[in-house]
Amino acid sequence: MHYLFVYHGGVVPEDQAEQNISDLWNWLDNLKARGYEKVRFAGFGRKTVSPHAVEDYQGDIFGVAVMEAESLEEAVSLTTDWPELQYGGKIEVFEALAADYPRSSSDAHILNLFADVRRQILDTLHGLPVDKLDHIPPGFRNNMRWQAGHVLTVTDELIFQFSGAGSRIPAEYKTWFASGTDPSGWSDAPPEIDVLLRRLEGQMAKIGDAFEGRLTHPVADQSNFLQAKTVGELFHVLIAHESLHLGMIQAMAKNFVKKQAADAQEGGAHHSGHVDVRPGDVAEK
């Protein structure tokens, strides 16, 4: 059985980041030497998190690995020797991605899991007022428009480009939405949010059509930085990436809701303290 391990780094001090990454890779190297690790996402994400946003989102550094174990209990037991870190690092194990290739039901299972995460992203974005989608909440570097474009762009690279199927989006999208970009660096106007949402919808359908029955196929570039050998292994990382950004999008949406409630409460307090003065109530001098 294959299990997806997703490592979240917590809110890591800048001077501890390199040590955190080193600890993560040493731990993964140890598992690999013991014959467990099969695929890893050899990268990490840095997210700017202020003290005001810690409740909503914790996850400065993350890594992804696919492990093979006899059972979920065995997979979970592999996390027990993870070092205790003061900034809240943790590892989550997902049995939902336990697809044993080549099993006939694997393709539908993985594709449906991807579609479920993508629908949650779309539902969250569609549920917010359009005027909030360009707002950057406290503690975040990016807005919802960037999140939508980033998910679209990275998915195109991971699945269509790495598999050899070819990109399905304009090349300039990377200048706005690639990893490491943010709205402060946009020199030209990015695509409108409604365009991005339509592309996210369309991409979900295209992936379902293009990759059903192909998850056991080899990737075009066998030397890719993910060390993925099959299309199915690309989907493991894809779903982890989409899930990560679903969490960020939901945290940002929660921030909007909390601010809206606070504003409404403040407005109510001001209203309750207001006294209407009618002309007849004014004392004559």
List, for residues 140-185, the tens digit of each pLDDT value: 889 999 999 999 999 999 999 999 999 999 999 999 999 889 999 9
pLDDT at 32: 78
pLDDT at 262 over 50: yes
Ordered DSSP codes for 81-118: TSPP-TT--EEEEEGGG---SS-TTHHHHHHHHHHHHH
List, for residues 21-57, the tens digit of each pLDDT value: 677 777 777 877 887 766 554 344 444 334 444 343 4
Residue 246's pLDDT band (boundaries 50, 70, 90)? confident
Q: What is the rounded distance in angstroms from the CA atom of residue 167 to the CA atom of residue 159?
A: 9
- The candidate with the shortest Cα–Cα distance to 149, out of 189, 106, 113, 108, is 189
Residue 207: CA count within 13 A, CB half-sphere: 32
Q: What is the rounded distance in angstroms from the CA atom of residue 146 to the CA atom of residue 190?
A: 9
Q: What is the rounded distance in angstroms from the CA atom of residue 98 to the CA atom of residue 232?
A: 11
pLDDT at 96 over 60: no
List, for residues 200-241, the tens digit of each pLDDT value: 999 999 999 999 889 889 999 887 777 778 898 888 788 878
- The candidate with the shortest Cα–Cα distance to 86, out of 156, 136, 34, 12, is 12
Residue 196 has phi, psi (to 5 degrees) of -65, -40
Structural domains in the chain plus CATH codes: 1-98 (3.30.70.100), 102-260 (1.20.120.450)
pLDDT at 129 over 80: yes
Residue 133's pLDDT band (boundaries 50, 70, 90)? very high
Helix or strand run (H / E) with residue 77 = helix 72-77
Q: What is the rounded distance in angstroms from the CA atom of residue 159 to the CA atom of residue 238?
A: 8
Strands (E), the chain: 2-8, 37-41, 62-68, 90-94
